[in-house]
Amino acid sequence: MTTSAMVSNDATALGLLAVILGFVFYTSSSPHPFWQKFYKFIPALLLCYFLPSLLNTFGVVDGHTSQLYFVASRYLLPACLVLLILSVDLKAILGLGL
């Protein structure tokens, strides 16, 4: 099956997504007045969903043939959940039920 996407390698697509999200988060915490004014009207979370969707819309990546969702949901998501749980105060959570 031939794809017409400009980026067909999943590792490259993941890197491209990481760069875009890194840019959004870096500029959202920037002290520069332009970025402060920009993110006052446009939420950073909206850009985190909107900018990667443009990659699929304009044919940079092909969402149908990519296995990126499979890799992210099977490997990255569980790893992120484990890292998130490491900072949980279990004693305080157990105290909530009493």
Predicted pLDDT of residue 77: 92
Assign 3-class secondary structure to the chain: CCCCCCECCHHHHHHHHHHHHHHHHHHHCCCCHHHHHHHHHCCHHHHHHHHHHHHHHCCCECCCCCCHHHHHHHHHHHHHHHHHHCCCCHHHHHHHCC
Predicted pLDDT of residue 5: 81
Q: Where are the domains of the chain?
A: 10-96
Mean pLDDT (the chain) is 89
Condensed to tens digits (0 to 9), the pLDDT of residues 44-54 reads 999 999 999 99
